């Protein structure tokens, strides 16, 4: 049982590792629907069988073997799937005991052939990692299993025990697995990892024990199988997944455009050049569909602060009036004056600087 748990953990880790190597496109996960086929291979752990070799109690132990499963089914689109399965299991004899004595030498194989009808439920967890969906599922099956003892023989001192043939019995199984959807690579393809427990009713295997006097008996063995499988499943007609397109980023706001209108010393009237610049600003405001026009007046550092504050506002109002005359709505314009607090060219107090006697028109 420890081997089974370790095997299941290993295969589960392999499935998760596949999801780590994922593409960046995210896809929507939908319940499986339509016809599919599958193939699984893995390790089969067959339980010890206890019975009688004639009047003598005996036991057969098996080595870890292998299992191959082929299936075909239909998914109904609501998480329910139904399928037919053909399976083959094979385990080599490890040792044989009779009457509490272990054989000096043993040989043979147990080969099992089964046909099962299975029903599954895909658990809707909706996990999606980088375009690879993770879909756990559980299932149960009912069918028929044939057991064939191929040359099973144990040699004891003075005698030989031979299991001649096996038999068929009703079988049932429980299944738990994880499917990793590889739609980002091949639409409809999934990697599966499963644990299966399979059991049949107690079955007979005719046996013979040869000593000085030949005796015959019936070996009644329990048939418990634990299997861990890794496989592939392909669903027909699966459309390519639709990428979840991230919304386009909002366009960056257009950079503000600034126009500078200069004034003579201690003046707030507009020169011809100033009117040309204001006309250009008005034309651009209509072209770029600006929503706000900021008009800011400034002065140089001559004179008192209060006087220059009023002068900067008058300059701004003169420019705004010209913008209105050029077709700009007055409610689109904001006016403010900064006096000599924000010089374009830093100077000492009392210095006349033409570039500081200005109005800035900013289109936003």
Q: According to the model, what pLDDT value does residue 214 have?
A: 59
Q: What is the pLDDT of residue 206?
A: 65
The two structure tokens encoding residue 90: 């094979």
- Whether 261 has a pLDDT exceeding 70, the answer reads yes
Q: Are 232 and 36 in contact (CB under 8 A)?
A: no
Overall size of the chain counted in residues? 364
- Report how far residue 315's alpha carbon sits from residue 352's, in angstroms, rounded to the nearest whole number: 17
Q: What are the residues whose beta carbons fall under 8 Å from the beta carbon of 342, sequence distance 6 or more? A: 298
- pTM (2 d.p.): 0.59
Rounded Cα distance, 141 and 171, in Å = 8
Q: Which two tokens stand for residue 336?
A: 């403010």
pLDDT reported for residue 65? 96
> b or e along 281-314 (b: 16 or more beta carbons within 10 Å of the residue's beta carbon)?
bbeebeeeebeebbbbbbbbbbbeeeebbebbbb
pLDDT at site 241: 62
Tokens (6 digits) for 72? 């075909």
Q: Could you give the count of Cα atoms lying within 13 Å of 193 in the half-sphere of its Cβ?
A: 17
169-195, pLDDT tens digit by residue? 899 999 999 999 888 888 889 999 999
φ and ψ of 9, to 5 deg: -65, -40
94 pLDDT above the threshold of 70? yes
The pLDDT assigned to 204 comes to 60
Average pLDDT across the chain, whole number:
83
The 10 Å Cβ neighbour count of residue 359 is 27
pLDDT, tens digit (0-9, with 9 covering 90-100), for 133-166:
889 999 999 999 998 888 888 888 777 887 767 7
User: Which residue in 65, 50, 59 sits closest to 4, CA to CA?
Assistant: 65
How many H-runs (helices) and E-runs (strands) does the chain carry?
Answer: 3, 17
**pLDDT surpasses 60 at 272:** yes
For residue 154, the model assigns a pLDDT of 85
């Amino acid at each position: 049982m420890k081997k089974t748990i370790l095997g299941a953990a290993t295969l589960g880790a392999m499935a998760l590792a596949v999801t780590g190597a994922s593409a960046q496109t995210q896809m929507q996960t939908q319940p499986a629907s339509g016809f599919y086929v599958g193939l699984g291979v893995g390790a089969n752990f067959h339980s010890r069988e206890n019975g009688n070799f004639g009047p003598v109690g005996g036991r057969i132990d098996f080595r870890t073997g292998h299992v191959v499963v082929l299936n075909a089914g239909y998914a109904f689109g609501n998480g329910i799937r139904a399928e037919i399965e053909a399976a083959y299991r094979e385990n080599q004899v490890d040792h044989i005991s009779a009457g509490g004595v272990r054989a000096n030498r043993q040989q043979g194989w147990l080969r099992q052939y089964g046909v099962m009808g299975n029903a599954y439920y895909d658990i809707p967890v909706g996990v999606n990692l980088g375009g690879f969906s993770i879909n756990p599922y559980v299932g149960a099956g009912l069918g028929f299993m044939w057991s064939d003892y191929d040359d099973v023989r144990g040699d004891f001192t003075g005698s030989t025990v031979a299991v001649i043939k096996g038999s068929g019995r009703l079988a049932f199984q429980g299944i738990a697995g994880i499917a990793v959807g590889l739609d980002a690579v091949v639409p409809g393809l999934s990697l599966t990892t499963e644990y299966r427990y399979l059991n049949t009713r107690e079955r007979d295997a005719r046996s013979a024990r040869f000593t000085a006097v030949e005796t015959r008996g019936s070996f009644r063995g329990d048939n418990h199988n634990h299997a861990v499988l890794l496989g592939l499943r392909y669903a027909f007609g699966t459309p390519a997944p639709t990428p979840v397109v991230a919304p386009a980023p909002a366009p960056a706001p257009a950079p503000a455009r600034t126009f500078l209108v200069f004034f003579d010393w201690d003046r707030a009237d507009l020169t011809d050049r100033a009117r040309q610049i204001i006309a250009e600003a008005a034309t651009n405001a209509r072209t770029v569909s600006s929503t706000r026009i900021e008009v800011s007046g400034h002065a140089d550092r001559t004179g008192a602060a209060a006087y220059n504050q009023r002068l900067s506002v008058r300059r701004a109002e003169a420019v705004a009036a010209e913008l209105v005359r050029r077709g700009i709505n007055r409610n689109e314009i904001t006016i403010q004056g900064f006096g000599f607090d924000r010089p374009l060219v830093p100077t000492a107090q009392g210095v006349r600087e033409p570039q500081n006697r200005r109005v800035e028109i900013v289109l936003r």
